[in-house]
Amino acid sequence: MKSKSLVLAGMAGAALLSAATTSRPPVTFSKDVAPILQKNCQTCHRPGEAAPMALLTYAQARPWAKAIRQAVLKRSMPPWHADPHYGKFRNDRSLSQDEIDKVVAWVDSGAPEGDPKDLPAPAQFEEGWRIGKPDVEIAMAQPFHVQATGVMDYEHFVVPTHFTEDRWVQVAEIRPGNRAIVHHVIAFVQPPGSNPSHEPVEYLAGYAPGAVPLELEPGRAKLVSAGSNIVFELHYTPNGTAGTDQTKIGLIFAKEPPKERVYTVVLNAYHFAIPPGDPDYKVETDLVFGADVKILSLMPHMHFRGKDYDISLISPEGRSEKLLSVPHFSFAWQTMYYPTDDITAPKGSKIHCSGHFDNSVNNIYNPNPAETVRWGEQTFHEMFGEITDVAVPVGTDVRKIVAWQEAKPANWTKKAEPEP
């Protein structure tokens, strides 16, 4: 039997704990949750952007409180798929455990608004643009009609820039005219006098679900030569209702001549055949740099059967460092990952990409697990690619940046599968 002193001590301890708990300030939207939404969510969760609802105010967020709680606990929102054990990225929009705990505590306590005086100053967004007001807007010449049903090949629209002098682009954003039917857009620079059927055009900027605008730091820019055209490559996905689209790109020019030119390297593996029902088909591909470069970004690309993706850098001496690991690839979020610090890649360094596809019935996004899947442009085909921005001194011959690339997976043989 407990002594009277022990009972009294226990009661006193409980009272102190209760007092400490009740003395903690409640978690409120105004003071605790609004800053999290502003930093991590509102670029998409606002009118005119990709998210299905706005989260700018308490009135907008309150009806979604339980859904927000579930999404942050599952870490499905904000969308971020990089394994934190490999690389640090300046555009990491994932929530810390403390931020998750605050959101959960807010919902569990009834999602109180709190004092509006505690709200942070509203984030300022340029209407229609995430980058602010562009120096120039370049749009498709006229609206394009998209059919209600069926499969559409990629469309290409050539638009003159009318630039009379070379321009250095530091910031660029693509704005689809109709997000409901635009799956993705790539804007290429077509230099004057080039033959796009024989000469590669230069990747300027891209749009896909989850993508962010191109924003380079001062001293770096992409070149758009005088007299160049912008080529819009558009992938339209009919959704049952016919519509029109008139996509555009906004450009902000560098204020001073840059010291480094940014050039986009695109690496694709074309030679693969994923067997029916295969849950773990591996593809690998390599690219060797022919010049000293600084790696500024990494972007894996796969379609619905994409399962995981790793990118490593192998030094000329053979040392390997994993730059990025995406253990659960999501086709819905085509993320460009920007390392916190530039990654130096001397001439002779190799980018090595490896990943797996799930062509089984267990993949709920699989269009058809009964077919052999090869490279193709449509989403029911597959791709295995990687997009990387690199910086080189202005004046570098960009044709020498890529010395060699191997686009065959280790298990591919010409006898087994003809080239596309």
DSSP structure class, residue 17: H
**Whole-angstrom distance, CA of residue 257 vs CA of residue 254:** 7
In percent, how much of the chain has pLDDT > 90? 78
pLDDT score of 111 more than 50: yes
Q: Are 41 and 61 in contact (CB under 8 A)?
A: no
pLDDT score of 173 more than 50: yes
Predicted confidence band at 406 (pLDDT cuts at 50, 70, 90)? Answer: low
Q: What is the mean pLDDT of the chain?
A: 89
Q: Which two tokens stand for residue 227?
A: 């007299």
**Alpha helices in 199-292, H assignment, sequence order:** none
Predicted confidence band at 267 (pLDDT cuts at 50, 70, 90)? Answer: very high
**Whole-angstrom distance, CA of residue 228 vs CA of residue 411:** 41
pLDDT in tens, 71-103: 999 999 999 999 999 999 999 989 999 999 999
For residues 40-63, average pLDDT: 90
Comparing 127-141, 275-289, 305-319, 406-420, which segment has the lowest mean pLDDT? 406-420
Q: At what angle do helices 97-108 and 65-74 cross, to 10 degrees?
A: 150
The pLDDT value recorded for residue 15 is 42
Domains delineated in the chain: 23-118 (no CATH), 136-258 (2.60.120.230), 263-406 (2.60.120.230)
User: What is the per-residue burial (b if ≥16 Cβ within 10 Å, else e) of 307-329?
Assistant: bbbbbbbbeeeeeeeebbbbeeb
For residues 336-363, average pLDDT: 96
The pLDDT value recorded for residue 163 is 97
Please return the burial class of 79, using the count of CB atoms within 10 Å of its CB with bins 0-12, 13-18 and 19+. Answer: middle
Q: Are 322 and 86 in contact (CB under 8 A)?
A: yes
DSSP structure class, residue 382: B
Predicted confidence band at 413 (pLDDT cuts at 50, 70, 90)? Answer: very low
Q: Which helix (H) or strand (E) holds 160?
A: strand 155-160
- Give residue for tokens 């040392």: 319
- Give residue for tokens 């998409």: 44
pLDDT score of 226 more than 70: yes
For residues 217-229, average pLDDT: 96
Residue among 409, 392, 412, 408 nearest 400 (CA): 392
Please return the burial class of 268, using the count of CB atoms within 10 Å of its CB with bins 0-12, 13-18 and 19+. Answer: middle
Q: Which two tokens stand for residue 387?
A: 């997009």
Residue among 185, 253, 266 nearest 224 (CA): 253
Q: Are 285 and 267 in contact (CB under 8 A)?
A: yes
DSSP structure class, residue 116: G
Residue among 273, 270, 323 nearest 299 (CA): 323
For residues 162-175, average pLDDT: 97
Please return the burial class of 152, using the count of CB atoms within 10 Å of its CB with bins 0-12, 13-18 and 19+. Answer: middle
- Give residue for tokens 């954003």: 173
**Whole-angstrom distance, CA of residue 146 vs CA of residue 237:** 8
DSSP structure class, residue 203: E
pLDDT in tens, 146-155: 999 999 999 9
